Amino acid sequence: MSWKTDTLTGWGRVLSGTAQIARPEKPSSIAHVTGDTPAPAIGAQRSYGDAAINTDGKAVDMNRLDRFISFDAQTGVLEAEAGVSITQMLETFAPQGWMPAVMPGTGFATIGGCIANDVHGKNHHGVGTFGQHVLSIELIGTDGKTKIVSPKKNKALFEATLGGLGQTGIIVSAKLQLTECSSRLIQVDERRANNLSEFMQMLKDSTATYCVGWIDGTANGQSLGRGILEEAELTKSNMAPKLRKSRKVPFNAPSFALSPPTVRAFNRMYFNRVPATGRGVLRSLEDFFFPLDKIHDWNKLYGKRGFHQFQCVLPDDTAERTLREMLRLIADAGLASPLAVLKRTGPGRAGPLSFTMEGFTLALDFPNSKKSVALVEKLNDMTAEAGGRIYFAKDSLATAAQAKHMYPELAAWQKTVKTADPKGRFKTDLVRRLKLRDSK
């Protein structure tokens, strides 16, 4: 297996590093590479910060391991290699009546990346995280040997792998329980929420299978926290989905593209696009679940300086007070981009390092600048004080002390990981920055 020097970059384009990368095509090549030089795996590099970067080290790119191994059309159990993407699964199995049980907001993410960050989707409040639908995992350790881990076999290692940021080994393949879907269309109902209290109540009251909110990060005063609630149900319609054409952002956008007046005007228009009485629309599954995927390289819209995403989850008892204060700071700073999400989360999580908890999650993008770094650092502090958590898949600015405070099961996870990888060969930039494997 040959190693090629290349640059690894987080999706936010602020953090990057040069590494030697191997691109194996067969599980046997991974075993060979890993037994010889253990190195962390990377997927589609859709994590925003440094989760998939190993500066001056090595990394095993899993994207060529993208084959389906077996599928049972009666039970919906799929076994697939770790480099298979969410979109590949949706496109192949939705016509047969099955789809991934949990899907993040991009279909480019791979099975390995979705397990390692224990990702959540628009149905988290009902079905929990991606890891909760994983039946077993084939994992290669530092010795190049393959282990099967499942809730019955190597339970502690299995759980430490779910949300475990690749620190327990390389996920070669996994068995997943897919969920039934009757067509490739989804009925989406959109309603306006005029302020934060109304929005949070609407999210709490929703009984929809899929539910997500767009929030206007520029609104202030009486409109603080206004947005649009999207509730969706799979349909039995036999109409063919109308798919949008893919477009590409060809160059780094100039800084005025996301200037405060432009974003404010865009957000006003976006809010008013939904009538005050609400509206219903039929969409393709791809358009509803992955709204940004049709614009390839949309991260270039933030220009060369890149952007930071802030995503926190807050428990119910502190959520409203903290969100109000956060949104006030964000609106006053005039730094938010139109991409902002408010969602209700349920209690489901699969491993000790999984992000989600019962409460509310807020996610916002900020073009990279000194001012936005200071703002995100402040928001991270507020999250910690409120008993919430920052999402490692999105983070580029949290501190080791914050990570320790937010993830109380860190010590138990470290113990399992230490046995699996005693020499720290699977460490990445994120793990080093947040000292996730340091026991003190």
Ligand X SMILES: Cc1cc2nc3c(=O)[nH]c(=O)nc-3n(C[C@H](O)[C@H](O)[C@H](O)COP(=O)(O)OP(=O)(O)OC[C@H]3O[C@@H](n4cnc5c(N)ncnc54)[C@H](O)[C@@H]3O)c2cc1C
Binding site for ligand X (CB under 6 A): 11, 40-47, 51-52, 62, 82, 104-106, 109-110, 112-114, 116-117, 119-121, 165-166, 170-171, 292, 393, 428
Question: In whole angstroms, how close is the CB of 59 to ligand X at the nearest point?
Answer: 8
Question: In whole angstroms, how close is the CB of 16 to ligand X at the nearest point?
Answer: 13
Residues 211, 312, 297, CA angle at the centre, nearest 5°?
A: 75
Question: In whole angstroms, how close is the CB of 240 to ligand X at the nearest point?
Answer: 26
Residue type, 240: A
* Residue 139: half-sphere exposure toward Cβ, Cα within 13 Å: 28
- Of 51 and 258, which has the nearer Cβ to ligand X? 51
Other Cβ atoms less than 10 A from the Cβ of 310: the count is 29
d(CA 234, CA 210): 9
Question: In whole angstroms, how close is the CB of 220 to ligand X at the nearest point?
Answer: 26
* Residue 384: half-sphere exposure toward Cβ, Cα within 13 Å: 17
C-alpha dihedral sign at 99, 105, 109, 113:
negative
Question: In whole angstroms, how close is the CB of 122 to ligand X at the nearest point?
Answer: 7
d(CA 112, CA 84): 8
Q: Residue 348 is encoded by which pair of tokens?
A: 């489901």
d(CA 357, CA 128): 10
H or E segment to which residue 383 belongs = helix 370-385
Question: In whole angstroms, how close is the CB of 420 to ligand X at the nearest point?
Answer: 12
- Of 3 and 334, which has the nearer Cβ to ligand X? 3
H or E segment to which residue 234 belongs = strand 227-234
- Of 165 and 417, which has the nearer Cβ to ligand X? 165
- Of 168 and 183, which has the nearer Cβ to ligand X? 168
- Of 167 and 183, which has the nearer Cβ to ligand X? 167
Other Cβ atoms less than 10 A from the Cβ of 151: the count is 12
Burial 234-253 (b: 16+ CB within 10 A, else e): bbeeeeebeeeeeeeeeebb
- Of 106 and 136, which has the nearer Cβ to ligand X? 106
Per-residue DSSP letters for 42-70? Answer: E-S---SSSTT--TTSEEEE-TT---EEE
- Of 89 and 331, which has the nearer Cβ to ligand X? 89
H or E segment to which residue 212 belongs = strand 210-215
- Of 199 and 391, which has the nearer Cβ to ligand X? 391
Question: In whole angstroms, how close is the CB of 191 to ligand X at the nearest point?
Answer: 21
Question: In whole angstroms, how close is the CB of 236 to ligand X at the nearest point?
Answer: 26
d(CA 314, CA 395): 16
Provide the Cα torsion 262, 373, 387, 359; round to 10°.
Answer: 30
Best CA proximity match to 364, nearest among 219, 252, 222, 210: 219
- Of 99 and 109, which has the nearer Cβ to ligand X? 109
Question: In whole angstroms, how close is the CB of 136 to ligand X at the nearest point?
Answer: 14
List residues bridging with 367 in a β-sheet: 307
Rg (CA), the chain: 21
User: What are the residues whose beta carbons fall under 8 Å from the beta carbon of 122, sequence distance 6 or more?
Assistant: 103, 210, 211, 212, 230, 232, 289, 343
- Of 291 and 315, which has the nearer Cβ to ligand X? 291
- Of 110 and 372, which has the nearer Cβ to ligand X? 110
Question: In whole angstroms, how close is the CB of 73 to ligand X at the nearest point?
Answer: 26
